[in-house]
Amino acid sequence: MQTTLKTQVAFEGTGLHSGLPARVVLQPAPARSGIVFRRTDLPGQPKLPARWDSVIVSPLNTRLENAEGVTVSTIEHVMAALAGCGVHNALIDIDGPEVPILDGSAAVFVRGIVKAGLTRLAAPLHAIEVLKDVVVSDGAAFAELSPATTLQIDFAIDFADAAIGQQHKRLNMANGAFVRELCDSRTFCRSADVDYMHANGLALGGTVENAVVVDGDKVLTPGGLRHVDEAVRHKMLDALGDLYTAGAPILGRYTGNRAGHAITNKLLRALFADQTAWRWVTCDAKIAARLPGVGVSVADLDAVA
């Protein structure tokens, strides 16, 4: 069955790229609503469904834009939290153009969602089953969706900085794996990239308090890493959030190599462009038990650093 939040939960912070303050309120929503953002700071409070066909390509974040040109950016972390906690319907009020970065991970969102709790709705849950391999690429980077009975994420990265280097991780995302393994992993960047972005009016809200900043073999962020492979874990977090713009849980294996937001959106567009590559399935108890977020509890949060 579909779910929504039992009660609303609010978050406040600064946007990573805009540097602007914003308040985000996750609210319960009826069955079949999906995930919808609402810009409460604008006349008419325009809505933006969190769907792949409303995503504007960006290498730095995932940004939605509606037909009137209204945008909400950096949605990937809250989307990952919703997917990883098994929330299928939510109205997200936001009073600015960018979702706050908070600590650079999805952990704060996850804690708020788990505290709010979920309500089961009297409507069947449908998932997207991948039926055949779909692959997209951009130079050395590629992403692929292939058939699987659960959502699985297999990710590899390769950075020159020794503090990151080559990392690879594979996870079955069923039964709270996101909360235990990925949700506290923070966004990361090179110190030289921070200087470049600031000089070009980007990452205006970025600090060593909300991102892992590296310089060669050094981690400049106070406290160091939360996981030895925190970088690849964060890329998997991003991938889960971006995949949730499909509009429903996905049953399939996502493989990413040096992939980012733009490639994952390109992959979803390729999937939905081929009607033979996927189908809707109604989730019975057996299928539902394999979805991300099923069975998530406070005990799962205790495993998070």
Classify residue 223 as exposed, middle or buried by CB count within 10 Å of its CB (0-12, 13-18, 19+).
Answer: exposed
Cα dist. 118→4, 85, 251 in Å? 6, 9, 22
CA distance 180 to 153: 15
Residue for token pair 């057996």: 286
SS3 string of 268-294?
Answer: HHHHHHCCCCEEEEECCHHHHCCCCCC
Which residues are catalytic, by number? 261
Name the token pair of 194.
């921070």
> Using the 8-state DSSP alphabet, how is residue 246 labeled?
G
Which of 207, 172, 171 is CA-nearest to residue 187?
207
Give the DSSP H/E element, type plus range, for residue 137: strand 134-138
C-alpha to C-alpha distance for 7 and 244, rounded to whole angstroms = 22
